[in-house]
């Protein structure tokens, strides 16, 4: 693989645009001063693969619902009804998501690792930072597979038109004037500023928007409120599984709000099906030996090197790399041990000359629209680095 070194953006500049999580706990820069050089053909392959994968997820989602496979996916029982409700009504539009992929560069085939369908991270980095790095270094900022910002703006319009024709937005919206409330937790600068970036994009799209921390949002049978003002749309950067496990009363209330058509929530509850790593076992059952998939099972694979993960694990926690003979090559601890395990065939990530491994992340907002990379070891964790790219 080929890397190109750039002059990094200054901390002062990053902070001026709201990117305040630029330095890791070891005082190293979170954003790499190198970028991955890819070809036009590699960019197109990521685009085509991600679009195909999303279609497969949609087909498999219907299969999960028709066959009541929620328990297999480790989904909290108190969210099943709201998942079905959001799936069956087209107004519950999937705003954005991110596929994590192995391969795609250096001649390696693209393979799905997992799908961050509910609360994907790296949005700010992919949409803004890597573009700004090219611009600062006098490179063509358009030479990326990266239309994420504009794609999100268009997708906000589609939540009104429910149509590919976003030109209808002005006609529809001007007669309704609907509002979106954006919420995150108050203790994470990354979550706050990522949510506010989405709010800014929605405002540019033409919506009336507001922001409030989740702990201050009001919920009742009539809808979702800030200071007694009702909102027809609510964006929450809080995982659905956390709501189901930790806020059972809220889960029931949101179910009723959606059933009574009092508000629409982004991302929709059905994205929790896709978020579960157990969903990849369903995909393997429906599309066995598909070239974009890795064999995945709820039981250890026989005769294969594999990775054990938890259905709702995050940031590489509670993950094991298991060798063919059953010995453990690498293992991480974490807080997700109580979740169901899945076993996924091991695949090598592309590697640079220093031995760093690279995982591609491709955002999806109506279509594949933005590529970025994470660099780290065999199990990527919250100390992995964000690496931008350029098409040459």
CA-based nearest residue to 374, from 184, 120, 19, 39: 120
Local structure of residue 77 (DSSP, 8 states)? G
- Sheet of 296-297: strand order equals 296-297, 341-345, 306-310, 320-322, 328-331
> 13 near 135, Cβ under 8 Å?
no
How far apart are the C-alpha atoms of 242 and 239, rounded to whole Å?
Answer: 5
The pair phi, psi for residue 328, each rounded to 5°, is -95, 120
pTM for the whole structure: 0.95
Rounded to 5 degrees, what angle do the CA atoms 155, 268, 71 make?
145
Tokens 């970025």 belong to 372
Q: From first to last of its 392 residues, what are the pLDDT tens digits of the chain?
A: 899 999 999 999 998 988 888 988 888 899 999 999 999 999 999 999 999 999 999 999 999 999 999 999 999 999 999 999 999 988 899 999 999 999 999 889 999 999 999 999 899 999 999 999 999 999 998 899 999 999 999 999 888 777 666 666 565 655 466 799 999 999 999 999 999 999 999 999 888 999 999 999 999 999 999 999 999 999 999 999 999 999 999 999 999 999 999 999 999 999 999 999 999 999 999 999 999 999 999 999 999 999 999 999 888 889 999 999 999 999 998 888 889 999 999 999 999 999 999 999 999 999 999 999 999 988 887 788 999 999 99
CA-based nearest residue to 117, from 283, 260, 254, 253: 283
Torsion (CA) 330, 332, 338, 340 in degrees, nearest 10: -40
């Amino acid at each position: 693989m080929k890397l190109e070194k750039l002059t990094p953006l200054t901390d002062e500049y990053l902070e001026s645009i709201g990117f305040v999580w630029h330095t890791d706990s070891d005082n190293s820069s979170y954003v790499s001063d190198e970028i991955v050089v890819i070809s036009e053909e590699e960019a197109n392959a990521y685009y085509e693969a991600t679009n195909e994968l999303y279609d497969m997820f949609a087909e498999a989602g219907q299969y999960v619902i028709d066959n009541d496979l929620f328990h297999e996916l480790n989904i909290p029982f108190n969210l099943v009804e709201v998942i079905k409700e959001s799936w069956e009504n087209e107004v519950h539009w999937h705003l954005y998501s991110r596929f994590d992929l192995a391969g795609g560069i250096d001649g390696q085939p693209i393979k799905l690792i997992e799908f961050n369908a509910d609360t994907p991270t790296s949005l700010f980095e992919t949409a803004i930072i890597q573009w700004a790095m090219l611009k600062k270094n006098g490179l063509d900022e358009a030479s990326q597979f990266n239309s994420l910002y504009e794609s999100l703006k268009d997708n906000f319009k589609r939540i009104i038109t429910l149509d590919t024709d976003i030109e209808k937005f002005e006609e529809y919206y001007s007669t309704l004037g609907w509002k979106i409330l954006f919420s995150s937790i108050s203790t994470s600068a990354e979550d706050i500023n990522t949510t506010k970036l989405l709010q800014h994009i929605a405002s540019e799209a033409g919506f009336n928007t507001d922001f409030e921390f989740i702990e201050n949002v009001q919920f009742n049978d009539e809808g979702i409120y800030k200071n007694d003002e009702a909102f027809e749309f609510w964006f929450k950067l809080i995982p659905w599984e956390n709501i189901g496990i930790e806020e059972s009363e809220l889960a029931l209330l949101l179910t009723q709000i959606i059933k009574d058509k009092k508000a629409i929530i982004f991302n929709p509850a059905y994205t929790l099906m896709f978020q579960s790593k157990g969903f990849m076992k369903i995909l393997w059952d429906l599309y066995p030996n598909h070239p974009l998939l890795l064999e995945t099972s709820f039981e250890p694979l026989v005769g294969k090197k594999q990775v054990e993960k938890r259905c709702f694990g995050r940031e590489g926690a509670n993950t094991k790399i298991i060798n063919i003979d059953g010995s453990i090559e690498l293992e991480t601890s974490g807080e997700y041990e109580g979740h169901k395990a899945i076993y996924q065939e091991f695949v090598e990530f592309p590697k640079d000359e220093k031995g760093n491994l690279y995982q591609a992340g491709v955002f999806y907002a109506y279509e594949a629209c933005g590529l970025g990379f994470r660099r780290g070891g065999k199990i990527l964790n919250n100390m992995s680095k964000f690496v931008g790219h350029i098409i040459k």
